[in-house]
Amino acid sequence: MTFQQHTFMKTSHIITIFMPAIIMIMIIWLTFFVDNYFSLSLYKFGLYPLSFKGLTGVLTMPLIHGDIGHIINNSVPLIILITFLFNFYTPHFKQIFFLIWITSGLWTWMFARPSYHIGASGLIYGLAAFIFFAGIIIKEKKHIALSLLVVFLYGSIVWGMFPINFMQSWEGHLSGFLSGMTFAYFYRKELKEKYLPPDPYPEEEDDDDDDPYWKTGADENP
């Protein structure tokens, strides 16, 4: 294999690892630039609780951001957490990702205060919660290490789930966190079966009943 071929394969592998995150980031940044360039005021298509029109925000909320600071703050954790989910929970990636997306949005729509809720922070909270609790449930070294890494990187976001800063959608944060935790618990059996390595030293069943020694009563005196 030539150096060029090796470099190409390595680059392709790296791109594959980050592909879902790259696609998501491209979509939200494209939405942001189109919104600002054409002055579309897309926040009106965000989530507005208990409003039939605002129900579309369940789908659009994570794609719409208010300003450059908002989208930058969400982009980095999205890249990291989507990449974690995609590479450590590959068979469950699509269903978990979209279940958290939809469920966190629906719960926000159901109980949040009457205001437009936009941004991908609810999705971020959901991904972080799922990865953390899934690792704790699986109890396997690699996944537990990933859970601890998520705590190290984003443990402080827990404060965003409380009504401290009303400029943020704390309801969306809380809904995202609860949805991630819920699906980690809901899929607990599948997660253990899929990601927990088999016991290298399984306990041997007690087969005394099959031992002819016990069947014949060989311990009795003649």
* Domains present along the chain, CATH in parentheses: 3-195 (1.20.1540.10)
Task: Tell me the pLDDT band of 187, cut-offs 50, 70 and 90.
Answer: very high
Contacts of 126 (CB under 8 A, 6+ apart): 100, 101, 103, 104, 175, 176, 177, 179, 180
Predicted local confidence at residue 199, as pLDDT:
66
- What token pair was written down for 213? 């020694």
Helix (H/G/I), strand (E/B), else coil: 47: strand
* pLDDT, tens digit (0-9, with 9 covering 90-100), for 143-172: 999 999 999 999 999 999 999 988 899 999
d(CA 195, CA 178) in angstroms, rounded, equals: 23
Q: How many CA atoms lie within 13 A of 175 on its CB side?
A: 26
* pLDDT exceeds cutoff 70 at 185: yes
Task: Tell me the pLDDT band of 218, cut-offs 50, 70 and 90.
Answer: very low
d(CA 169, CA 150) in angstroms, rounded, equals: 21
* pLDDT exceeds cutoff 90 at 32: yes
Predicted local confidence at residue 222, as pLDDT:
41
Contacts of 100 (CB under 8 A, 6+ apart): 123, 126, 127, 130, 176, 179, 180, 183
| Ordered alpha helix ranges (H), 38-120 | 57-60, 68-88, 93-111
**Among candidates 145, 105, 133, which has minimal Cα distance to 121?**
105
Q: Are residues 41 and 35 in contact, defined by beta-carbon separation less than 8 angstroms?
A: yes
Q: Please, which residues bridge with residue 47 across strands?
A: 117
Q: Which residues of 82-114 are buried (b: 16+ CB within 10 A; e: fewer)?
A: bbbbbebbeebeeebbebbbebbbebbbeebee
Contacts of 54 (CB under 8 A, 6+ apart): 46, 47, 48, 109, 116
* pLDDT, tens digit (0-9, with 9 covering 90-100), for 120-149: 999 999 999 999 999 999 999 999 999 999
d(CA 205, CA 167) in angstroms, rounded, equals: 61
